[in-house]
Chains A and B, each alone.
Chain A
C-alpha cells in the first residue's frame, strides 16, 4: 500500500482520486462502450473548460488581476478605441 500522504483537494483544486482527466477518460469510455446510465453525461465542452481552468487557471487568474490593475493601460486602450 502506498504510504504517500496527499491532501483531499489537490493544488489544481481537483478532488484527489477523481481528477478532471479521469472524468474525461471515463467520458471517452462512456461514448465508446456500454457502461450504464450517466444521465446526459458531463458534456465535452464542460470537460474541456474545466480541464483548462484546473490545469491552466493559475496563469490565467494571475494575468487577469494584473490586467485589471493596469489602469494606465486601460485608459490608453480606451483612448485608442473609437468612442461608443
Chain B
C-alpha cells in the first residue's frame, strides 16, 4: 500500500508534487495551516472578540452578560451540536450559522434575528481575515497549476460552511483559482473519517488515481486520502511550528505579566509570508515603534470618549490627520458595536487661532508668555507676527508705556531688562491698547465662528479635541476664541503627550489630558517622549500646508486658508514630507493590523502602559545611534518660532540629548545614554 509523503519545506513538497503532475488532473488542498497560515497560535482566540461583540449586543438589548459567559455559552452550544451530529455521522462536525444562531437565541431571546447573525458573522470573518495569510510558496504554485489546466479544490474540516470559507479565500486572493470550496460543515462528511473525500469524488466524478491531496494533518490529510487511493503530500514546516510556538509564549506571558501585552500584540501584528518583504529603516520604525504608540493612543481616545459620553471627536490639524487615519483603520476591529462618537478633521493651527483668541479677551499675559517661550522670539514684532496684528496702530500705545516694537521682551536675548516686563504688564492693562487689539482681531473671530458652525461644532454638548500636544496651546487659543458663546460644548482635550510648560487654564468645560504622557502624572519612563517631540509631530503631520486663518465664503460659511508653500520654508516642508513618506506608510500599515491584534490580545489599553513606557525609554532615551540618524527629521517648520538668535548659554553641555545634537556631542550623548537620562529625570523631578 502506498503511503503519504511528508515534507518539512513547502518548496521541496512542491518539487516532489510537480514530478508527479504528469498523470494528475486534480489537486486538492487543505485550507487552514496549508493554504492559509494563522498569525495566532490558537484559532479559538478569534472567538474572544466575537464574544465581546455579542456581550455588547446583549447589553444594548438590556441583558447583562459578560463576554466570558458568552464565550462559555457558545462553546456549550457548539459541543452539544457536535455530540448530536456524532449520533448520525462518523464525524462530530458543527455548522457555524446554526451554532451561532442557537447561541444568539439563548442569549438575546426574541431579539436574535438574521440581522444579529449577519453582524456577528461579518465581524468573525473580518477578524479571521486579519489573522490569515496565504502561504507564499503554495500561492505561487497554485497559479502555475491553474495555468497548466489542473482542477483545483479546497477541502476543509471546519465549522464554517463553504460560503464563509470562500469569503476567507477571496480576501486572500485565492478563491478564483478553485473549482469548488468544500466544507465539512455543509455535509457533516469530513476528511477526518475519509467521507469528505468520498463526497468530493462522487460529486465531481473524480478519479482517485489522478488526484493529489496537499495538507498538514497526518491523519485527515495523510492517512485518509491514501486509504481512498489518493496520493497525499503532507507539509510539516518546523519554521511554522516555531513561529506559532513563539506567538504562544508571548500570549501566555501576557496573561500573567502586563508588560508582555503590548509585545504580544506586536507579535500578532507582524507581517508574514509575502507581506514581510525588506523595507527601509524608516518604514520599519514606523511599523514597529511609532505605529503601535499612535494606535494605542487612538484606542485610548475611543475608550475615553465612550466612558465620558463624548459625542464628537475633532482631530486637530495637522497631526490629527494621522490619528484620524488610524482611527478609521482600527475602529471596525476594536469597537464593532459601533458605539462610537462621530469624527471630524478640524483645520486649525496656533497661528490660525491666535488672532481669533484675542477678539474677546484681548491680549493676555499668558498669550505673551507663550510667544516668548521659543528662543527665536524676541520683541513685540514677534507678538504682532503670531497674533496677526498690524504694528503701526499699536505704536502709540506702546510709546505710552515707553516701549517700541523692537524693545527686547524675552529674557533669553541681549538687551532684556526686567523693567521691560513691568512695562509690558502695564500695557496689557491698558484699555485703549486692548480695544485696538479687539478691533484688529474681531473679523478673524467672526470667520472662525462661521467655520466652526459649518463643521457642526456647536451641535454637541461634549466634544473631544485630539492633538499631538504639548502645552495644549491650540486648545487654549481655541477655548478663548469660543468661550463667549453660551452654546459652546465642553472641550475635552486629549493629547498624545502633555508636557504642560505653561499651566493650563483648567475648567470643568475645558481641560487637557495626556494619554501617552502627562507631566502631571509623574511618569518618569513616559517622560522620555520629550527627547524627540518633533519626531512625533513630523511623523503624524498631514500632507497639506498649515492653516493660517479662515476666509468667509459668502454663503454664510467660512473655509480654511493655507500657507503658501512656494517659499523656501514651504519647499523644505515638502522635502521633509517626502523624507518621512516611508515612516508614515509604516504607521498606516501597522494600524491596519493593530486593531485585530489588540482586540484578540487585550481588548482595551489598560494593560499597555508598561509596554508603552518600555518603547519610549528603549527607543528614545536609549536609542541606538543608527536609529537616531534614521529617524531624525530633515526640516521642522514651526511658524511660531521667530528668527532671532538668543544669547549664548555658556559652555555647551557634554552629556546632551543625542536627538538634538550632531557630531561629537551626539556620539557622546548616545554613548552615555544612562547619564543623559538621569539628567533628564532630574529636570523632570525638580522643574
List chain A positions with a Cβ less than 8 A from chain B. Answer: 1-9, 13, 15-18, 22-23, 26, 29, 33-43, 46, 49-50, 53-54, 57-58, 60-62, 64-65, 69
Q: Which residue in A3, A8, A39, A64 is a CB contact (below 8 Å) of B257?
A: A39
Question: Min CB distance, B236 to chain A, in Å?
Answer: 6
A34 touches B239 (CB 8 A): no
CA distance A61 to B362 in the complex (A): 72
Q: Which of A9, A22, A29 has the largest count of B CB atoms less than 10 A from its CB?
A: A9
Contacts of B677 in A (CB 8 A): 35
CA distance A31 to B325 in the complex (A): 38
Q: How many contacts between A and B, using CB within 8 angstroms? A: 149
The answer to the question of B504 belonging to the interface, with a C-beta cut-off of 8 Å to chain A, is no
Evaluate whether A38 and B613 lie within 8 angstroms (CB atoms) in the complex, with A7-B278, A13-B246 already known. yes
Closest 3 CB pairs of A and B: A36-B525, A39-B610, A36-B524
The answer to the question of B430 belonging to the interface, with a C-beta cut-off of 8 Å to chain A, is no
Question: Min CB distance, A16 to chain B, in Å?
Answer: 5
Q: Which residue in A15, A46, A54 is a CB contact (below 8 Å) of B266?
A: A15
A8 touches B253 (CB 8 A): no
Evaluate whether A37 and B249 lie within 8 angstroms (CB atoms) in the complex, with A2-B629, A53-B242 already known. no
CA distance A41 to B260 in the complex (A): 8
Contacts of B242 in A (CB 8 A): 13, 53, 57-58, 60-61
Contacts of A38 in B (CB 8 A): 259, 525, 610, 613-614
CA distance A69 to B234 in the complex (A): 12
A41 touches B257 (CB 8 A): yes
Question: Min CB distance, B292 to chain A, in Å?
Answer: 9
A8 touches B276 (CB 8 A): yes
Q: Which residue in A15, A22, A37 is a CB contact (below 8 Å) of B270?
A: A15
Contacts of B626 in A (CB 8 A): 2
The answer to the question of B463 belonging to the interface, with a C-beta cut-off of 8 Å to chain A, is no
Contacts of B241 in A (CB 8 A): 61, 64-65
Contacts of B523 in A (CB 8 A): 36-37
CA distance A83 to B266 in the complex (A): 46
A40 touches B630 (CB 8 A): no
Contacts of A4 in B (CB 8 A): 281
Q: Which residue in B238, B287, B613, B618 is a CB contact (below 8 Å) of A8?
A: B287
A41 touches B259 (CB 8 A): yes
Contacts of B243 in A (CB 8 A): 13
B285 touches A17 (CB 8 A): yes
CA distance A49 to B252 in the complex (A): 12
B284 touches A17 (CB 8 A): yes
Contacts of A22 in B (CB 8 A): 618
Task: Produce 1/0 per residue, B251-289, CB < 8 A to A.
Answer: 001000111100100110011100011111101110111
A42 touches B260 (CB 8 A): yes
The B interface, classified by DSSP as helix, strand, loop or mixed, is helix
A-B contact list, 23 entries, CB within 8 Å = A2-B281, A5-B281, A6-B278, A6-B284, A8-B284, A9-B270, A9-B271, A15-B270, A17-B285, A17-B627, A18-B266, A18-B288, A18-B618, A23-B618, A26-B622, A37-B613, A38-B610, A38-B614, A39-B257, A42-B259, A42-B260, A46-B260, A65-B241
A40 touches B271 (CB 8 A): no
The answer to the question of B53 belonging to the interface, with a C-beta cut-off of 8 Å to chain A, is no
CA distance A29 to B272 in the complex (A): 32
Contacts of B267 in A (CB 8 A): 13, 15
CA distance A11 to B619 in the complex (A): 21
Contacts of B285 in A (CB 8 A): 17
Contacts of A41 in B (CB 8 A): 257, 259, 610
Evaluate whether A58 and B279 lie within 8 angstroms (CB atoms) in the complex, with A33-B674, A37-B609 already known. no
A29 touches B622 (CB 8 A): yes
CA distance A7 to B284 in the complex (A): 7
B259 touches A57 (CB 8 A): no
Question: Min CB distance, A74 to chain B, in Å?
Answer: 14
A5 touches B622 (CB 8 A): no
B288 touches A6 (CB 8 A): no
Contacts of A35 in B (CB 8 A): 524-525, 617, 677
Question: Min CB distance, B609 to chain A, in Å?
Answer: 7
Contacts of A17 in B (CB 8 A): 284-285, 288-289, 619, 627
The answer to the question of B8 belonging to the interface, with a C-beta cut-off of 8 Å to chain A, is yes
CA distance A17 to B614 in the complex (A): 13
Known A9-B271, A37-B524, A42-B260; 7 more pairs at CB < 8 Å: A3-B280, A8-B287, A23-B614, A35-B525, A35-B677, A43-B257, A57-B242
Question: Min CB distance, B7 to chain A, in Å?
Answer: 11
